[in-house]
Structure 1
Amino acid sequence: MKKSNGLWFGQVEFSGYGGFPEKMASELIAAGVQLRRLKFGDGTVTGIVPPGDYWATSIAAHKNGVRLRAGKRSGLYFTLLRYSRRVGIYLGALAFVFILALNSSRIQDIDVTGSSELTASQRSQVTAILSECGISPGKSTKTDTKAAERRVMLELPEAAWVDISIVGFRVIADVETGTPKPEMLSSDVPCNIVASRAAAIISQTVREGTSSAAPGSGIQQGGLLVSGIVTDGAGNVSYHHASAEIIGEFTETQEFFVPYRETVQRADGEVTEFTWLQFEDDSIPLFWGNAEVPDAVYEEQTEPITVLGRKTPLSLRHGKFTSYRSLDIVRSADDCIAELERQQQQFTENFYSGYEIVSAEKTALPEDDGIRMKITYTLRGDIAQEQEIFIG
């Protein structure tokens, strides 16, 4: 029965705050994790899980932005852990290493990620900032990540959002790049609607305010589209929070270049593997030195440790570094065109997903060392942007 793997063997009380605790709990229940005494408060959650499920709980909490804390631990497992003496040389040595690890937590590896692709230079800059803030392999996991987040935001111009967290012995730096959308004004703040860019107006839906531009006309960036200052038939003036959807058509030109010859880095070189023993939020490295390989791609997987077919609170985390290998590439003209088409498709998916692409006129320009492609896009999208009215 499933309960044989449950709370009679041991239990861990936990509490968390922030993020999306209800979503975290739903994911855990769907994954078969046993949750007891689950309570939700004002942005908080408390409950009890078996020792073997606490690691899955902490991963789900991190994924959903919940700050999780372990509380009271009780049950057969922890009783045996505290009072067992003659458990064999291997378990005795393992317990000794475990105690040392608890007393001396050290960062083992750093992962710089982001939904938007970061360049090698950006990754290097983020890693350097972390190191200057005391976040590097071999340093204590008990460090202030907020100072590092502020520095990355200040020193990396492309950074739009930064979150640095420490999970076990691993640092995860999530850096999102791009231009964030302007903040929306409160609905009770008087404002106009202006053009976010120069465009030809295709259509408009005005929900509040007075239209100042008609479909078919052109508008410059910052030009007035809908006024929040309304005058009634008696000449009385009132101020409103203008609201509208204005579809504009505009053009943008992008350039892409692919050389005939270049040296690229492929992640198919030497493979170096490391293994950690996991227990709750703690990791015990089963190797000497630091788990760090420069110029490599990192991936990992975790497998539970079972005894007689039953899952234990322990698991093994396997990390694999695959080194980059330099590769000289020689392309034909057709190869260059194919690579240009791939780059253009990737660019369109990343930056124009929110627009309707009316047309894309391509011009291939052969050069001595490669082929350049110029693409003129005709796009349609909402150009409405709120601009506060200051009443003097």
Structure 2
Amino acid sequence: MFIIRFLHFLMGVVPFEAIGGFPERFLNLCVQNKIALWDCHSRKGILTACTTAKGYFRLRAVANQTGMRLHHTGKSGLPFLLRRYRRRWGIAVGLLLFVTVLCVLSSFIWSVKVVGNETVSTQYITDTLASMGLKSGVLKSSIDPSALQSEGLVAMPELSWLAVNIKGSSAVVEVKERGMPPEIVPSDRPCNIKATQDGVILDITALDGVPMVQQGDAVVKGQLLISGTVEDKVGHTMLKHARGTVIAQTQRDIVVQVPYQQTKRTPSGKLTERRSLVLFGLRIPLTIGSNPQGNVDVQSVERPLSIGDVEFPISVRIDRYQPYTEEVITLSPEQAEEQARQQATNQAQTDLAGIEILNQAEDVQHADDVCTFTIHALCKEEIGLEEEIQYSAPDSP
């Protein structure tokens, strides 16, 4: 129904009345001359119907042949709309310019979004990608997603995976950080269980699959613990989703180094803000004055104009300049050791969270310019990790 109405709009619609004459002959001639009519009604000698703009002009000859008088009761559609504004060339020029600007703007990247990061900052990722050419205001045709993926992983070792997807005028960067929780293998897919750490097996329970090690065995990271490849009684090989628990005794070392000579920064002077308008990648200063020079810590915040999830290539950038002074201080061995111990303890609370510690020892070494503090932790933990078995399904006969 919508398509029919749209076609009527393109061709123009003229409702009309035909009075007197011979209505039956009028309709027959319309059919013979292929003049489209619809919504036809006859009442008290008056025939009412609708036709197209072109068809109405052809009806005049048919009306003369059948002795009927035509009178249109209205007109609507694109032909009449264009005729009404045919002398207003400014509208046509404006529409043409709008379409041209829209086409030009759609060929650029106007926003870069990062998803999937938790500990790695979005600013760090966008700044790194900007140095490689992916930033607001660049042509979409100049972006090579595969090259950005390989170069980005080299430049940002904190990431284990990176993908660039172009959606309209936005570039969506999907990342995965190193050390993030592994993806769980769906239960309907075959998998093995492998070791995540070096250690000595304390207990192994295989609920599904074949255990490949036993209590007391020493294993290394990546070693197969429970296999998902099993054989039935007649020797047929099957792939299963291995399930089970593997508890091992592991050794974890946390090492922190603190130099005796350190540079201390102390804020000095007044905090200065500079605002600028970023329009299509071009920065336009909104604040009069020069930026502070010398030792200055700069923090930048950019707030894009957006409506819902749609971001526009317009944003306000705020740069905050904080002057500071630097002072070189020398720690005593005791101060360096205390600082290293505190840092190592904090790191251990994070790295060993949820792990049972059987025994813990500390080791301190003082060199000429650095203090090295080490925590040796003997742990008891689950070291099994599911790893999907990659295989090719046999071709159907």
TM-score (norm 2): 0.49
Q: Which has the higher contact order (CA 8 A, sep 6+)?
A: 1
